[in-house]
Chains A and B, each alone.
Chain A
Amino acid sequence: MATRIDPIVSPRLTLEVLSPDQVGRIHEATLEVIETVGVRFPTPKALDIWEAHGATVDRGRQVAKVPRKVIEDALALAPAAYVLGARDPSQDCPLDGEHVFAATDGCGIEVIDIETGELRRSRLRDVEEIARVADACDEIGFHWVPVSAQDTPAESRALHELAAIWRNSTKHAQTESIVTEHEARAAIEMAAAIMGGHDALRERPVLSMMQCTTSPLGQDGGSIEAALVAAEHGIPVGFMTMASSAFSGPATLAGTLVVGNAEVVSAMALMELAYPGCPVYYAAAQTAMDLRSGAYTGGGPEDFLFGAATNALADFYHVPLSMGAFATGAKEPDWQAGVENAMSCFMASVVTSDMLLGVGLLNGSRIFSYEQMLFDCEIYSIVRAMLKGIDTSDEGLALDAIREVGTTPADYLATKHTRAHMRELWTPRFMERRPYGIWSEAPDRNRDWALEKARTILRTHQPDPLDPAVSTELDRIIRGVEDDVASGRLVVAAHG
């Protein structure tokens, strides 16, 4: 039976990081940048579309400078709400501005082995097992490809990863690892095979795509070509800026927001020009560069502000947002991981970011840890409880119970009101709440509990399997791509 997803719904707390006036200033600055500096689209397919719609295109530099009206008119065509379909319809994720769905992070390259604790290169089996654990967690709404299946051929790796997720979970799969047109076409064929045709897929897409921009003010050619294929088939596609303040964006936060916004907005507008009304979304994981190493930090006050501010921009454009959260820079599930992931999860959730990426990865989205995955789920469950706010109805004020107990010490322990409401109080799975004496003598710690929980899920949880005929079809599609490459019919080239 499919696991029930228990998402954050309609947060009762509010937070305004950017006022409407500030959002307006960022929007105006963005349009000016797109019109006067331009954005690099290194594929003739995109440049042709821009030119046909009145942009000034520099073919040599592959830069399009687009009049503001073209951008604004195109963005107005984007649907404000749609559904991410799941193999099991009860697990569909409506992106409607009311829900916050968490997902696994991607795309890691190493895994802390669940049995040995050894740090090793990621492989296909990890994708399968992580998907199965994610399938069992009610905090997780859908999947990203959590780690790279490095034991599969490069030209079909993204497809093996998707098949592994669909075979091990009934939840929606959003891939962030497809960066070529041929992989996009094959992935969509796989998704259509699962849904029983392209029309059904368009209605409830079990697949969505996320493409990274290349900051500052650029796109990846292959990613844009793959995105156009997705848009053609009604597969939701989003564009993620990872602009890094003082590195790939200005040192000021507003400047970094403008640069990232220009990247995301121009890519979404291109999709709408090519396929009017296609489902697109905003995606972001901006950060402030680490001033010493230049590295992407994956946590810090700037990141948390970006997490809340970006939703104001996505709301302004009436498109869903996929926000990078969690994804701590910590090297193991420790104090730093807790601080960073709690802050980033809260800030992105309180403003109702539709999608919340990043569960389970350490070291700036490089190392997967099952303990961290379940700790992140616990963080999400804390935030979910907080965002329900405080009920001040008569039942919430509890005057009857207060009268009943009066001044009798500790007597709320045994009232009907308590029995009726106590399960609304949050209960931890991995917090240390044992008495000090027991804790000091116990051999186990909270990391052990998380690991044991993951092991138990892997031993016991069996999601509804794919229809064997569909599974065979997925293999056939993947093999087709591999044969095309082997025979030279398909040349996998570098993209600019």
Chain B
Amino acid sequence: MHEDLLAAMRQSIADGDQDAATATANQAIEVGLDPLVAIDEGYVPGLSYVGSCFSSGEMFLPDMMLAARAMNAAMAVLKPELAKRSQQRSVRGRVVIGTVKGDIHEIGKNLVGTMLSASGFEVVDLGVDVAPERFVDAARENNADIVGVSALLTTTMTGQRTVVESLAAAGLRPGVKVIVGGAPVTRAWAAEIGADGYSEDAVGAVALATKLMEGAAGAAQG
């Protein structure tokens, strides 16, 4: 059943083809295919394929980004259908991201957001020049597992510490994990301000978020 359509879904992600991803998602609704089946057996295997090609060096970051955007395009079509059926996609984690107060650089943060959301995380992007209290409010409102704080300048990087402290003052730590990124951010800095991790690129950020979620699950079980 629907094998051809599922194959076309996988292919749309492998090709990074947003139009095809949108079209196949609409087709799924037309023919009454369960959206969870479309996601789990159509699009996600496509994304896994791209991920494995990236790991083996056959594909590059632009392939990943195109696949992620195609994935997000398909999800945009399927989300209302899921809601209609009162279904929920299993979410790997809830992440609030933003660039610190006083800093308007967003390229790296946006890359991380796209990759996380394509990888099954629910992402709330607060944008740029975000005050610490907005990180706190958003983390609380969205029941966030992880807060991602970006900064590009040495002069604004100290804002990452403020976010960690504000989350702690609001009683959200250590339940809510904090990850930091941006050109001046180093492992030593992340450790110094008490963040739970840092990454130097978007692919690493997904791996880090995944690891933190596994750690949280392990802690909950233990």
**Which residues does A use to contact B, with CB under 8 Å?**
107, 109-110, 120-121, 148, 150, 154, 157, 246, 248, 251, 289-295, 366, 492-496
Known A109-B154, A148-B154, A248-B107; judge A289-B61 contact (CB<8 A).
yes
Chain B nearest CB, measured from A420 CB (Å): 52
Cβ–Cβ contact B129 & A294, under 8 A: no
Chain B nearest CB, measured from A184 CB (Å): 15
Cβ–Cβ contact B102 & A293, under 8 A: no
CA–CA, A409 to B26, complex, Å? Answer: 87
- Contact partners of A496 in chain B: CB under 8 A: 104
Chain A nearest CB, measured from B44 CB (Å): 23
The 8 Å CB contact of B62, one of A107, A157, A291, is A291
Whether, in the assembled complex, B109 has its beta carbon less than 8 Å from a beta carbon of chain A, the answer is no
Cβ–Cβ contact B61 & A292, under 8 A: yes
**Interface 1/0s, chain B 135-159, versus A by CB < 8 A?**
0000000000000000000111010
- Contact partners of A148 in chain B: CB under 8 A: 154, 184
Whether, in the assembled complex, B203 has its beta carbon less than 8 Å from a beta carbon of chain A, the answer is yes
Chain B nearest CB, measured from A217 CB (Å): 14
Chain A nearest CB, measured from B101 CB (Å): 7
- Contact partners of A293 in chain B: CB under 8 A: 61, 200-201, 203
Chain B nearest CB, measured from A225 CB (Å): 14
- Contact partners of B101 in chain A: CB under 8 A: 494
The 8 Å CB contact of B188, one of A121, A150, A289, A493, is A121
**Which residues does B use to contact A, with CB under 8 Å?**
54, 57, 60-62, 101-104, 107, 111, 128-129, 154-156, 158, 183-184, 186, 188-189, 200-203
Cβ–Cβ contact B102 & A294, under 8 A: no
Known A148-B154, A492-B102; judge A294-B184 contact (CB<8 A).
no
CA–CA, A290 to B61, complex, Å? Answer: 9
Chain B nearest CB, measured from A382 CB (Å): 31
Cβ–Cβ contact A495 & B104, under 8 A: yes
Residue of B nearest to A293 (CB): B201
Cβ–Cβ contact A494 & B201, under 8 A: no
Chain A nearest CB, measured from B120 CB (Å): 21
CA–CA, A251 to B103, complex, Å? Answer: 28
Q: Which of A107, A109, A148, A494 has the most CB of B within 10 A?
A: A494
Known: A121-B189, A246-B62, A495-B104. 18 other contacts (CB 8 A): A109-B183, A109-B184, A110-B186, A148-B154, A148-B184, A251-B62, A290-B61, A291-B60, A291-B61, A291-B62, A292-B60, A292-B203, A293-B61, A293-B201, A294-B61, A294-B201, A295-B200, A494-B102
Cβ–Cβ contact B201 & A295, under 8 A: yes
Residue of A nearest to B105 (CB): A214
Residue of A nearest to B192 (CB): A121
- Contact partners of A157 in chain B: CB under 8 A: 154-155
Cβ–Cβ contact A494 & B129, under 8 A: yes
Residue of B nearest to A291 (CB): B60
CA–CA, A110 to B185, complex, Å? Answer: 10
